[in-house]
Amino acid sequence: PDTAACVVLPAYSERKASALLAGMRLIRRFEPGTVMFNGVDLSGAPVPLPGLPYSVDVWFDPLLPHKPGSATDFEPSIRAMLSPKALAMTGAGVPLIQVGVAGRDLKALVDTGASDDFISEAEVNALGLTPKSSEWSHVTLADGGKQSILGRVTLRLCLGPLRITTQPYVLRELTDVATYILGSSTLRQYGASIDLEACTLHLRKGTLVCKVPLESLKGVDAVEGKTESVPVVNFAAVAICVMNTGLITQAFLTNHNNNNNNNNNNNNNNNNNNNIT
């Protein structure tokens, strides 16, 4: 229920792929001649490939709807925390933003794999709030561990000119890099997309579009608790970007291509015509 799919297919092959596309919706068509992919030259540098001679369609299968308070709710989950300590996943880059609430500035982790929003107990106490009872007693972390849910609060978050209402679950502790987790329920509600090249999170409310700067993508070492900058492509975030904008950014294509090229070099693969697919 917390997994979305995005499929890019040549338009001429869709009849054969009809079973795969059942239930998905067409969100973007690239006309013949569109330049979409990179290749690599003999030195390993990315070079744009010629425009495709056929139409290419982007199909999307969204997350199942999440209705707070429903008896059929899916259990809350977080993909950027491990147990027994509340730490960000080892080696995984996590985008951080700054949000305001009741005059306080919070560090928020953008977790596209989290089902809902979450906030630390210490932050709730600092805001002088009392959590209300929750329909869930625990949250499932990335490695399958559990952490108790202490309740739920209602907040008005400020992200630049944008004001949004959220209902995060309260946890005893979050990661050591953030006291708030912005999860997929809020990201979907406000049409979120991440521009990796510009390093910004885009949120939409009606006709208002807010671009929130992302802080350095940080990772947390699960052994020593040290933070470090790491290169990362957040594929879940890119899927949201494709869903909302219908664009595949050059930054993503280039980064993906470079990763493929590095893997090929490590494996002593001499195929210099490797393309991104």
Q: Is residue 24 part of a domain?
A: yes
Q: Is residue 71 part of a domain?
A: no
Same domain, 199 and 178: yes
Sequence-ordered list of residues with C-beta below 8 angstroms from that of 8, at least 6 positions apart, any chain: 56, 57, 58, 59, 248
Q: What is the pLDDT along the chain (277 residues), one digit of tens a residue?
A: 456 778 889 999 988 988 888 888 888 899 999 888 888 888 878 888 888 899 999 888 876 655 554 444 566 666 555 444 444 443 345 788 899 998 888 889 888 888 889 999 999 999 999 999 888 888 887 777 788 899 999 999 998 888 888 999 999 888 778 889 988 888 888 888 888 778 888 888 888 888 888 885 544 443 344 444 333 333 333 334 443 433 333 333 334 444 444 554 555 444 444 444 4
Same domain, 103 and 231: yes
Q: Find the length of the chain.
A: 277
Q: Is residue 84 part of a domain?
A: no
Same domain, 223 and 137: yes
Range of the domain at 151: 96-240
Does a cis peptide bond (omega within 30 degrees of 0) precede residue 32?
no
Q: Across-strand partners of 205?
A: 208
Same domain, 31 and 155: no
- Compute the distance between CA of residue 195 and CA of residue 187 in angstroms, rounded to an integer: 14
Total structural domains in the chain? 2
Same domain, 225 and 121: yes
Write the CATH number for 175. Answer: 2.40.70.10
- Compute the distance between CA of residue 22 and CA of residue 176 in angstroms, rounded to an integer: 42
